[in-house]
Amino acid sequence: MRFLGRADLTEALELCARNPVDSVLAAARFIELAAVRGNNLEGWGWPRNGPLQAICWAGANVVPVLAPDLPPAAAHRALAAFAAQAIQTKNSSSSLVGERRAVMEMWKHISSTRTAREVRDNQPSMILDAAPHVGANPQVRVSQPADFDVVFPACVAMFTEEVGYSPLGGDGGISYAARVRYLIAQGRSYIHTEPDEDGEPEVVFKAEVGALTRQVAQIQGVWVAPKYRGEGRSISGMAAVVELVRSAHAPLVSLYVNDFNETALRTYRKVGFRQVGSYATILF
């Protein structure tokens, strides 16, 4: 493998564009890193010489991406090279995530050196590239910077519920707060608020565009406050998010969801999402 630098950006993004849904996590991160004018893309490429046939973002997460026409033998060599690099450098990313087959093959190599908190080996990857099938909640809107103090606690609650630990550890939540502020500033945070018993606004529903390219906007962080669950708010809320995202960011909206989360799967299908593949996530 070789390390990816700014000079590799165009070729890396062209590879990602060949399978934009599976690669959106890596592609979005490369785009964000290039925007800050740094040379380091926090990524690995394969093979060492010649045109890129596989890449891997290796930052906060490890995300492998293979060319869709890569022969099986070459795919095995690429994933083995990435896994060897992760082992050699004692990579401390919080997860290994991406297209299911690539992730699970890398995990076979890495599993002897790292212990997983959880293996989510089948997460349906779903898309919607047209108008939603249900009516949108008109109260869902784009978050504004002034909403941060209301949005941030909801984001922390969602993260803790989904991942199993609080994002406020380590640096006291500084990095996580910066990420939430970034998404709000980029117009990629969506909320529906209502007054609480004291008349103060509280988040009823929220979602973010966690990864974005010109082709795909991947929705992450979908959350309904516990006291409002069971009322169908996520269905109309997601319909609104799809409309807003397709209007402002990308024509195709994607997401991935745990296969055991039947409630979420039913919600997304009602909105109009259809499955096009599978992701997997190894949580460390």
Q: How far is CA 258 from CA 19, 126, 202, 279, in A?
A: 21, 11, 27, 9
Range 257-283 burial, b when 16+ CB lie within 10 A, else e: bbeeeeebbebbebbbbeeebbbbbbe
User: What mean pLDDT is reported for the chain?
Assistant: 96
Residue 159 contacts residue 176 (beta carbons within 8 Å):
yes
Q: What is the DSSP annotation of 176-222? A: HHHHHHHHHHTT-EEEEEEE-TTS-EEEEEEEEEEEE-SSEEEEEEE
Cα 84 to chain centroid, rounded = 24
Per-residue pLDDT reduced to its tens digit, 27-73: 999 999 988 877 788 999 999 999 999 999 999 999 999 999 999 99
- Angstrom distance (rounded) from CA 166 to CA 163: 8
Instruction: State the DSSP H helix or E strand holding residue 160, giving kind and residue range, or none if neither.
Output: helix 148-163
Per-residue pLDDT reduced to its tens digit, 142-185: 999 999 999 999 999 999 999 989 999 888 999 999 999 999 99
Per-residue pLDDT reduced to its tens digit, 75-132: 999 999 999 999 999 988 999 999 999 999 999 999 999 999 999 999 999 999 999 9
Range 167-177 burial, b when 16+ CB lie within 10 A, else e: beeeeebeebb
Per-residue pLDDT reduced to its tens digit, 183-220: 999 999 999 999 999 999 999 999 999 999 999 999 99
Give pTM, 2 decimals: 0.94
Residue 140 contacts residue 240 (beta carbons within 8 Å):
yes
Give SS3 for 258.
coil
Residue from 233, 284, 193, 278 nearest 21 by CA: 278
Q: What is the DSSP annotation of 233-244? A: HHHHHHHHHHHH
* Domains of the chain and any CATH numbers: 2-114 (3.40.630.30), 141-277 (3.40.630.30)
Structure tokens at 145: 């910077």
Residue 171's DSSP bridge partners are: none
- Angstrom distance (rounded) from CA 115 to CA 120: 14
The angle formed by the CA atoms of residues 228, 231 and 233, to the nearest 5 degrees, is 80
Sequence-distant (≥ 6) Cβ neighbours of residue 85 within 8 angstroms? 1, 44, 58, 91
Q: Are strands 40-46 and 54-58 parallel, antiparallel or unpaired?
A: antiparallel
Mean pLDDT value of segment 226-232: 93
What is the predicted pLDDT for the residue at 125?
Answer: 98
Q: Are strands 2-5 and 40-46 parallel, antiparallel or unpaired?
A: antiparallel
